[in-house]
Amino acid sequence: MNASRRPMALGDLPAVMAVEAQAYSHPWSQGNFIDSLAAGHLAEVLTDDGLVGYFVAMEGVDELHLLNLTVAPTRQGHGHGSALLAAVLAHAHARQLPTVWLEVRASNARARALYARRGFDEAGLRRGYYPAARGREDAVVMRRALARVHPPSASLQEAPDALE
């Protein structure tokens, strides 16, 4: 069955929370998702006969910050993470946001490899960012620069000879 994306809704949260619990030792809380939806953050689910995955991203000044991208553990390895990430990048491009940022656990080699394949570079390290079984774990900060389409400036349209 083909998976399809749509905006995340409050009614999706029971399934989202089940996937969070399966995917992470320290999952987001339901309140994190409710707050993200209430704030108007970009949030989508990927579904077929059930929840495949989802993402939440926050728009900022000249950037999109990917807060959470998760594929159900039983559905990983089939390109769903890549499809969700492509959707995030498409949203950033459509909104003319030149940079996408994210944090990923330093130990999450599979996710880091996906982000690297999609053009993300490591930009820094946040020490002790994530809770872990034994204290805290570092986050690798990654970014991807996108081509930005600039609309023509009104002043340049009105005075083209100013460029000469």
Q: 123 lies in a domain?
A: yes
- Whether 145 shows a pLDDT value over 50: the answer reads yes
Q: Residue 52 falls within a domain, yes or no?
A: yes
pLDDT tens-digit readout, 64-108: 999 999 999 999 999 999 999 999 999 999 999 999 999 999 999
For residue 157, give the H/E element and its range.
Answer: helix 154-158
CATH of the domain at 131: 3.40.630.30
Containing domain of residue 52, as a range?
4-147
Among residues 20, 44, 103, 137, the one annotated as catalytic is 103
Question: Strand order in 4-7's β-sheet?
Answer: 4-7, 42-47, 51-60, 63-71, 99-105, 135-145, 121-132
Share of the chain above pLDDT 90, in %: 84
- 160 occurs within a structural domain: no
- Do residues 61 and 52 touch, judged by C-beta distance below 8 A? no
Does the annotation count 103 as an active-site position?
Answer: yes
Predicted confidence at residue 2, as pLDDT, reads 84
pLDDT at 149: 56
Examine residue 155 and state whether it is found in any structural domain, yes or no: no
Which residue out of 20, 44, 115, 137 is catalytically annotated? 115
| The pair of three-digit structure tokens given for residue 73, joined into one six-digit string | 């553990």
115 noted as active-site residue: yes
Number of domains observed in the structure of the chain: 1
pLDDT of residue 140: 97
Query: Is residue 159 included in any domain, yes or no?
Result: no
Block residue for tokens 């005075």:
159
Is residue 85 domain-resident? yes
Residue 78 in domain: yes
In a domain, 90, yes or no: yes
